[in-house]
Amino acid sequence: MELDRLNNIIDQFAIDGTAAGATPFGKGLINDSYKVTTLEKGKPEYMLQRINHLIFQDVDLLMNNIITVSNHIRQHYIQYGGTDPERHGLTFIPLKTDSNKYYTRDDQGQYWRMMLFIADSVTKSEVTPENAYKVGVSFGTFEKVLADIPVPLGETIPNFHNMEFRLKQLQEAVEKDAANRLSETSDLVNDILKDAVDMCKGERLYREGLLPKRICHCDTKVDNLLFDKNDNVLCVIDFDTVMPNFVFSDIGDFLRSAANTSCEDEPDLDKVNFNLSIFHSFIQGYLEKASAFLLPIEIENIPYATQLFPYMQAVRFLTDYLNGDTYYKISYPEHNLVRTRAQFKLYQSVKAHSVHMDAFIKECLTSHKE
Ligand code: GN1
Ligand code: MG
């Protein structure tokens, strides 16, 4: 994007210092991010983000959620003696003209927001068993901290992790076959649909009044954590999808990316397997914080949650492939199909470990009680 246009946008935010330039940053599949440097020494750097308002259609609701969540995390951190809130949470920058407004709309109808860039931090696409434990503690804590958020949060994407809804979208994509790709994928579609009923267990339990919704992050992939140089988690980032949901979202989506022996779009399926040692460490850390507030039905269904997310992601990638790649950014024409196959392979590998996962969870709970 032209620098002039970006500079005009940056200029609307009340940053400390003079912007020196903006360079594309990160590899999110939805929003576009730019790192903004400042001319003066000692001034902070910033992150400018274009909000994808085709996906997040109610930008006002989205930004209200995000500001509420980031303020709540900050207050909690300070209340418990934290002294460096800007490294342990997200700090959004208000507009110069309105200190209560945290986004702007440019003359081309695009929405933008700005936040502090957390220096000396790194994101990862992989974790080790050692830091998976810390990540489990972080997400357990994240849910615990957000449990007493004083105002209700809206759904930034309605039905975001609703498996029944995602399957309906797949069915519609199959019926339309907009990109003429059904014939090459029909076997895969059928294989995926075989497990559809099992995978909608969460929605059934919710309807029966047995499963609650809590405030969850809903995009807990490894990339959405910042680590310091010593491999400690600094904070959870990317609050776009923080909303009421089943805790299955946070557990399942994290393990989907972290406990995969390869990457989300690995073309060689032999390389895609479920990494049990990551599962063990993460669940141990997570349950240490969360077992006190979770219901037995939530804990018992952790193995279901772990299967659900690679499955749901396979459904979502396949839907997008059939629709002609209208949602996720792609790097090559078959990208969404390759992603679908990789996620479905991961799902099958997770499923093969169900009995083991059940036994491990029981063991964890017993050791917490001792
Ligand atoms: C999207 O924007 P990003 O890359 O963090 C998607 C997630 C998917 C993920 C797959 C709003 O997240 O739900 O799990 O891609 N976010 C949205 O990599 O759809
Ligand atoms: Mg994200």
Shortest-distance Cα residue to atom 8 of ligand 1 = 219
For residue 300, count other CB atoms closer than 10 A to its CB.
14
Q: Which of these ranges, 14-18, 27-31, 177-181, 233-237, has the smallest mean pLDDT?
A: 27-31
Shortest-distance Cα residue to atom 9 of ligand 1 = 29
**In the predicted model, what is the mean pLDDT of the chain?**
94
Tell me how far apart the alpha carbons of residues 154 and 283 are, in angstroms, rounded to a whole number. 28
Closest CA to 163 of 311, 336, 299, 318: 311
Which residues are in the CB-under-5-Å shell of ion ligand 2? 28, 219, 238
Integer angstrom CA distances of residue 228 from 133, 181, 234, 311: 15, 44, 6, 32
Closest CA to 129 of 261, 37, 265: 261
Confidence at residue 364, expressed as pLDDT on a 0 to 100 scale: 85
Shortest-distance Cα residue to atom 15 of ligand 1 = 29
Tell me how far apart the alpha carbons of residues 232 and 276 are, in angstroms, rounded to a whole number. 21
The secondary element (H helix, E strand) that includes residue 343 is helix 335-351
| Whether the CB of 275 sits within 6 Å of ligand 1 | no
Residue in the block written with tokens 């949060």: 153
pLDDT tens, 258-313? 999 999 999 999 999 999 999 999 999 999 999 989 999 999 999 999 999 999 99
User: Between residues 5 and 357, which one has the greater pLDDT?
Assistant: 357
Backbone torsions φ then ψ of 227, nearest 5 degrees: -115, 155
Ligand 1 centroid to Cα of residue 327, in Å, is: 10
Ligand 1 centroid to Cα of residue 139, in Å, is: 17
What atom in ligand 1 is closest to the CA of residue 224? 5
Report residue 231's pLDDT band, with 50, 70 and 90 as the boundaries. confident
Report residue 335's pLDDT band, with 50, 70 and 90 as the boundaries. very high
Confidence at residue 369, expressed as pLDDT on a 0 to 100 scale: 56
Three-state SS at 7:
helix
| Whether the CB of 313 sits within 6 Å of ligand 1 | yes
Segment 162-171 shows an average pLDDT of: 98
Confidence at residue 87, expressed as pLDDT on a 0 to 100 scale: 94
Radius of gyration of the chain (CA): 21
Residue 366 pLDDT exceeds 90:
no
Residue 125 pLDDT exceeds 90:
no
The secondary element (H helix, E strand) that includes residue 35 is strand 32-38
Ligand 2 centroid to Cα of residue 156, in Å, is: 13
Report residue 131's pLDDT band, with 50, 70 and 90 as the boundaries. confident
Residue 117 pLDDT exceeds 80:
yes
pLDDT tens, 93-104? 999 999 999 999
Confidence at residue 99, expressed as pLDDT on a 0 to 100 scale: 95
Structure tokens at 281: 């460490």
Ligand 1 centroid to Cα of residue 82, in Å, is: 30
Ligand nearest to the CA of 29: 1
326 within 8 A of 218, measured Cβ to Cβ: no
| Whether the CB of 29 sits within 6 Å of ligand 1 | yes
Ligand 2 centroid to Cα of residue 264, in Å, is: 14
pLDDT tens, 56-94? 999 999 999 999 999 999 999 999 999 999 999 999 999
Give the pTM.
0.88
Ligand nearest to the CA of 314: 1
Confidence at residue 4, expressed as pLDDT on a 0 to 100 scale: 84
Segment 151-176 shows an average pLDDT of: 96
